[in-house]
Amino acid sequence: MKVIELKNLSKIYNPDTIPVRAINDVTLSVEEGEFTAIVGPSGCGKTTLLNMIGGLDISSEGSVDIGGVSINEMSESELTTFRLQHIGFVFQAYNLIPVLTAKENIEFIMVLQNRDAKTMQERSDDLLDRMGIKDQRDRRPSELSGGQQQRVAVARALASRPKFVLADEPTANLDSGSTEALLDTMAKLNKEEKITFIFSTHDQRVIDRAKRIIKLVDGEIVSDEPR
Amino acid sequence: MILYIKLAWRNVWRSKKRTWITASSIAFSVFFACLMQSSQLGSYDNMIDNSARFFTGHLGIHQVDFWEDQIIDNSFDQQALFELDLTNPSILMGVPRLSSFALASHGDRTKGAALFGVSLEEEAAFSYLERKLIKGDYNTERGVLMAAGLAANLNLNVGDTLVLMGQGYHGVNAAGKYSVTGILKFPIPALNQGAIYLPLETLQEFLSAPNMISSYSILLEDSQDTEGMKAHIETILKGKELGVMTWQEMLPDLVSSIELDYYGGWVILIILYVVIGFGIFGTFLMMIKERTYELGILNAIGMTKRRVQIMVAIEIFLLIFLGVLLGVLMATPIILYFWSNPILLSGDAALAMEKFGYEPIIPFALNFKIFYNQGISIFIIALFLAIYPMLAIKQMKIIKALKE
Ligand SMILES: Nc1ncnc2c1ncn2[C@@H]1O[C@H](COP(=O)(O)OP(=O)(O)OP(=O)(O)O)[C@@H](O)[C@H]1O
Ligand SMILES: [Mg+2]
């Protein structure tokens, strides 16, 4: 099943002044269960592409369908609710709400979704367990290492049972040990639970773990290969 | 909702220093404003109370023409009132009074004097007249109590005899000799230089106006509750040639000077609030600026802007509430203390107050309205200033916020 379908997608920044064509005519689809890396040199458009897939930014041309639903015409608040229900996000760093504990951060999304307390409790316990951060559950982000913070972020992204998880350079701020550990967990979730991950990176070790590699140069796909 | 409150509460305490600075600046202004208003309202109460007790009552019943033309011929027979039932839980008490003017002489000195015929016993409770006695005896059957200034001008002392001459009821001549039994000292110069108090019957006899009184002054439980009671008494007085007036009608100058002072106080407070307002605004500005990235993340992961706004609004509310609460908590014991122990002025300040006819004290009012006024004012200001963070959230662009 297709979870993402992009057709002739383009993004032009500053169309009225000095136009920058950050994404140029990208057509692409992602199937459920993929573990896909979007790679390319700095400034090639990785973040821009992920933002449009995630409904954080709107395209200038072309269309974005998520699970068969077009998000192009959605209003801002519709998009926000759509993101809440269907997409998990992991950002490069400082993902978490500083004043909430790890567990509360994970449950945050579910509270926004109006889940009942028991479901939240079970889900967050389960995720904390699987992310290997059970002992850190009551710590605030400032008391966690960068790697632990990113795991909480992944757990939070998964808490809502999204169609897929978007991660923009999730390991950029991590040392190699933490990077390995985070990727191990993500790969395991992908393998065992068919969770779809799309992440951007320019770290070769991360690229090596991907099952599909989409290479961007100057906003265009130059290669798209399985590994 | 619990989540919002939890988030807001923790966010408030995130930068403790800023929270304390903001809360204490709000607290300080609330504290100052409460104290100021308490002393203002306290002095108004005191002024109204003094004037009502001494002169007009909170309500005054007169013959309909009396207030326009305050002459002895416009007095009325107190019998008319005895027939009526004026008892009411809002009415504390009432006293009959007869007033007139006469020439007062002793030896070769003569001065104009205001004569007040009162029931000395009731007056002791109504206007605390007895407390003004500095010499001699208060209770007298045939004698007079003289204001100290007038007594000095006439070179009179307790035991001396005074001659009064004037015009009685319907133009008859009035003349009599009275012995001075007591000296009264009034803070108000006009009274101190010219007042003579006599037992009511003595004055009625002097003026050949038996049973006549110029006014029946009424003291109410609540000095502000005049309109309702006025209407009530008017229905009772229906059919009589009598009218009832409120102290506000009888003392328009007092009303306007109170209003002037009250609004003058508000001007000071508004200036204070504008200054504090800038401080609060600075805090709001920082609250949003520092957290753009974080608010962007919240919006990105699915918290609608409306929800982000609610969270920040609760945070703002908590912060303001903390400040107001702190201010009220600081002000309350002080107001309570000065309410039961008014500040006694001395020296020049005291003299100046006395010159204007006021007691040289700064009484404080204990009135919920004070706290309410200040609390509401701060909240209105905060509400107004909160437009900025609310708009900033509304206009936030996630992509931009995430780049912060
Ligand atoms: N808001 C913007 N206004 C104008 N140009 C922009 C804006 N955001 C990004 N760009 C430009 O678009 C292009 C793609 O940027 P993008 O951030 O998507 O690259 P990236 O591949 O994520 O880079 P990096 O690896 O450094 O994160 C760049 O040339 C960038 O300068
Ligand atoms: Mg990027």
Per-residue pLDDT tens for B282-337? 988 988 898 999 999 999 999 999 999 999 999 999 999 999 999 999 999 998 99
Whether the per-residue pLDDT at B178 is higher than 90: the answer is yes
Look at residue B70 in the predicted model and tell me its pLDDT: 87
Task: Residue B165: name the closest of B207, B201, B199, B205 by CA.
Answer: B207
Which residues from chain B sit within 8 angstroms of residue A109, using beta carbons? 301-302
Min distance B51 CA to chain A CA atoms (Å): 60
d(CA B366, CA B69) in angstroms, rounded, equals 39
CATH architecture of the domain formed by A2-96+165-226 = 3-Layer(aba) Sandwich (3.40)
Tell me the average pLDDT across B148-162: 94
Which DSSP symbol is given to B130? Answer: G
| Single-letter residue type at B371 | F
Q: For ligand 1, say whether the CB of A48 is within 6 Å of any of its atoms.
A: yes
- The CA-based angle B208-B148-B193, given to 5 degrees, is 70
Look at residue B200 in the predicted model and tell me its pLDDT: 94
Look at residue B357 in the predicted model and tell me its pLDDT: 66
Residues 66-105 of A with CB under 8 A from B: 76-77, 80-81, 83-85, 89, 91, 94-95, 97-100
Task: Residue A170: name the closest of A109, A88, A84 by CA.
Answer: A88
Is the Cβ–Cβ distance between A65 and A71 less than 8 Å? yes
Tell me the average pLDDT across A22-27: 95
Q: Please state the domain extents for chain B.
A: 2-51+255-402, 59-222
Residue A224: partners with Cβ closer than 8 Å, 6 or more residues away? A28, A212, A213, A214, A215
Ligand 1 atom closest to Cα of A202?
25
Q: Where are the alpha helices (DSSP H) in B141-192?
A: 148-153, 189-192
Whether the per-residue pLDDT at B351 is higher than 70: the answer is yes
Min distance A58 CA to chain B CA atoms (Å): 10
Mean pLDDT rounded to a whole number for chain B: 90
Look at residue B3 in the predicted model and tell me its pLDDT: 81
Question: pLDDT by residue (tens digit) across A128-161?
Answer: 998 889 999 999 999 999 999 999 999 999 998 8
Question: pLDDT by residue (tens digit) across A173-188?
Answer: 889 899 999 999 999 9
Q: Please state the domain extents for chain A.
A: 2-96+165-226
Whether the per-residue pLDDT at B358 is higher than 80: the answer is no
Q: Mutation test of the interface with chain B: which of A14, A99, A150, choosing the one with the most B Cβ atoms within 10 A?
A: A99
Which DSSP symbol is given to B263? Answer: H
Look at residue B126 in the predicted model and tell me its pLDDT: 93
**Per-residue burial over B99-124, b = 16 or more CB atoms within 10 Å of its CB, e = otherwise:** bbebebbbeeeeeebbbbbbbbebbb
Give distance in angstroms: CA of B330 to centre of ligand 2. 53
Ligand 1 atom closest to Cα of B399?
1
> Residue B220: helix, strand or coil by DSSP?
strand
Whether the per-residue pLDDT at B94 is higher than 80: the answer is yes
Q: What is the ipTM of this complex?
A: 0.94
Per-residue tokens: A107 = 């449950």
Nearest CA in chain B to A88: B301
d(CA A26, CA A224) in angstroms, rounded, equals 12
Look at residue B355 in the predicted model and tell me its pLDDT: 67
Q: For ligand 1, say whether the CB of A28 is within 6 Å of any of its atoms.
A: no
Min distance B44 CA to chain A CA atoms (Å): 50
Whether the per-residue pLDDT at B102 is higher than 90: the answer is yes
Per-residue tokens: B20 = 């304390």
Is the Cβ–Cβ distance between A39 and A169 less than 8 Å? no
